[in-house]
Structure 1
């Protein structure tokens, strides 16, 4: 892979490992390892590093007509460079050595929303705390949609807490681009009233995972690829993606059914997140993946408790039909947010949780950490685990008909 593939033409700063103080690894994922680093000027950044040989292999596959992972890596790099929003990360620089490639973004000292919820006494938030975080997520998603970016993997683990206490949405490797969505106020048949009395009609057709086509989860990088991965109907002129991606408990019904999806999937995921923040668990989790998907498609969320604006909003967000699901403009005008000042919420001086100040910037770093060797070790371990898990998957004869490598769960 040429360095230019990651450096791009947007003037991104080239990073040199020699000039970065590696303080500690922050986490690892399917694509790479994230390190906390300090620049020569004392700025703390999150450096995501991936193995170059793995990327080059994916690029060769991409040239042959597949290579969805390579395109996702390039897409994430591309969208990061385009962000100018207080709730989204800034691209601070790009790294390219003989062994690793990657990029640096803002470091969030408060960890993620999942960790924060787990620290709560009853593993859930109050209505007022949820309102603040929900409002910031609405603004972040609305901005992404205005750029034509469908996030597609909203979950607490991908929502970081900045030093200021405000949120930051990270990890865009499952995102894709469609025609930009303008703010809209759609007229729908459902109301803002308590949805507890609403029960979906029983499905006449048995739910089957064999009846729909599954794509490999390709995230288009440019307009031509987007159009080849889209579908339109006579009633809807917007593009749709047919990729089958997401995280199991948060994925929208239209993704499970393979009907094509657009920006509405993000509002579904927001509904799942709000439910989880309110009740301490996701609404459709089953004993296994097949049961979870069945519940997502067929069951209404169990909104136990008195009728409240929050429960009403969750019901509107978890509407099975994406055409009837509440939209951005309707969400901002919902009773639950009637006291929210949308113009100033990102400037609120005292969010619900302010991370404790730590002295990570004053440490000497961990001199034992060699970024290149560390990333190589992680990828070697991942390859060994994948081989073992692949064999275990076949032997266990998992009940779902969807293959593990077709649904990207992180």
Structure 2
């Protein structure tokens, strides 16, 4: 591919002379994605970078965004140090040192960078040349910047700064060294994940979508290529240029949930169970009035209402979520044809989806198929999640056993090719063994006293969570 060069005004002190060697759309550490990776339908951007003179104006605007959720992140400390030492108290391009080119996306190019004189924090710098984009794509740039500015969530990117200089817009965001989930799937046997790993990633993506919908944001581009992996193995959704915003009415709904408890019917029988109902308050924030006629997304993940062109709303994300779970478990998408046209015909047809059921399969696959079937309902009114969003999906038996408030503390699954942050080196093996024996001793004492201590399993170093079959839930 021809070499292309950016030229910024002299005061930027930022050299962006790189040879374009990949068309990766993510902010990752490698270009592991192959040319077979799926692109969004709006990909009409020519992979060509401008070569303009350095006589542009020196005017630039910078905004540094503070976020309470990530306020303790060491990246913020590095940025605050740089802005404090700056003559005008602002972050400029000259404060950044480019390491290498990461990829080219729908709207611009992405580079790995660090702050000068500080190598302890890596960032991804998304550079958009506004002179190369149409008015429609310029609106996508502003939409993405606006959405990134509003995000403050562990499974979504943090926008550390926006720098506007000349006709360039630069977004400084999180860098994910673990690559993307599409590349991880390609490393697995049959391009599929064990059900425990699939549930882990599905649960975190579900929480991220719940947060977006609570803000009235319909994502519209969910796929493994847009799910990046942080250094600790947890996910981060990327690419928000295809999103659209709508009104949302957050509220608490009170619902009656049935439960079971043990009752004593005789001095020898404690096993008789009686059903009880308890009222539970559930938070619901779903943009049910969202509506758009734009045909955007990735063809294998498009919902039927989007393919038919009748207009779509929040339901397209829950359809894509069902396709996403299917692909993780089966290694392909459910409606994939020999080409894009046949795939779209399969999606729009009235034929029901079929599963390949193996003779011997993992525990939980029955629940997984039931969830996928409820998400891939072609009528959006009847589709799971369209009315009450993630609240209903979280309650499905496939996710039994997951403690949602603690999900960010779960240990990532052990799968081939997944980069995971190493444990702290200052904790010796002797200390770990002492802790393990201490917890085992405590569990032994509590069991002898008749106390059932299921919570102790959460301290195991071997499992990030245990699957709980719906038939065993008490």
Q: Which residue of 1 aligns with 2:109?
A: 33
Give secondary structure in 2 for the equivalent of 1:344: helix
Give secondary structure in 2 for the equivalent of 1:43: strand
> TM-score if structure 2 supplies the norm length?
0.59
Q: Which residue of 1 aligns with 2:380?
A: 322
Tell whether the 8 Å contact from 1:52 to 1:98 is kept in structure 2 after alignment: no
Task: Say whether 1:246 aligns with 2:297.
Answer: yes
Tell whether the 8 Å contact from 1:112 to 1:161 is kept in structure 2 after alignment: yes
Aligned-partner Cα distance in 2 for 1:184–1:304: 39
Task: Say whether 1:119 aligns with 2:187.
Answer: yes
**What's the offset of the Cα at 1:283?**
1.2
**What's the offset of the Cα at 1:300?**
2.5
**What's the offset of the Cα at 1:350?**
4.0
Gaps of 5+ in 2: 1-55, 68-82, 84-89, 256-286, 359-364, 423-474
Q: Which residue of 2 aligns with 1:288?
A: 339
In the TM superposition, 1:160-309 aligns within 5 A as 160-180=228-248, 182=250, 238-298=289-349, 299-305=351-357, 308-309=366-367
More strand by share: 2
**What's the offset of the Cα at 1:129?**
0.6
Q: Which residue of 1 aligns with 2:100?
A: 24
Tell whether the 8 Å contact from 1:183 to 1:329 is kept in structure 2 after alignment: no
Task: Say whether 1:44 aligns with 2:106.
Answer: no
Gaps of 5+ in 1: 59-66, 188-235, 359-410
Q: Which residue of 2 aligns with 1:343?
A: 405
**What's the offset of the Cα at 1:21?**
1.7
Aligned-partner Cα distance in 1 for 2:407–2:334: 28
Tell whether the 8 Å contact from 2:200 to 2:412 is kept in structure 1 after alignment: no
Question: Relative contact order (alpha carbons < 8 A, sep ≥ 6): 1 or 2 greater?
Answer: 1
Cα 1:271–1:100 shift into 2, 3 Å = same
Task: Say whether 1:53 aligns with 2:131.
Answer: yes
Tell whether the 8 Å contact from 1:250 to 1:272 is kept in structure 2 after alignment: yes
Root-mean-square deviation over aligned CA pairs: 2.9
Larger radius of gyration: 2
User: What are the Cα deviations for residues 227-284 of structure 1, in whole angstroms up to 9, with x where unaligned?
Assistant: xxxxxxxxx9723111111111101111011122111110100111111111111111
Tell whether the 8 Å contact from 2:63 to 2:162 is kept in structure 1 after alignment: no
**What's the offset of the Cα at 1:100?**
2.8
Task: Say whether 1:311 aligns with 2:350.
Answer: no
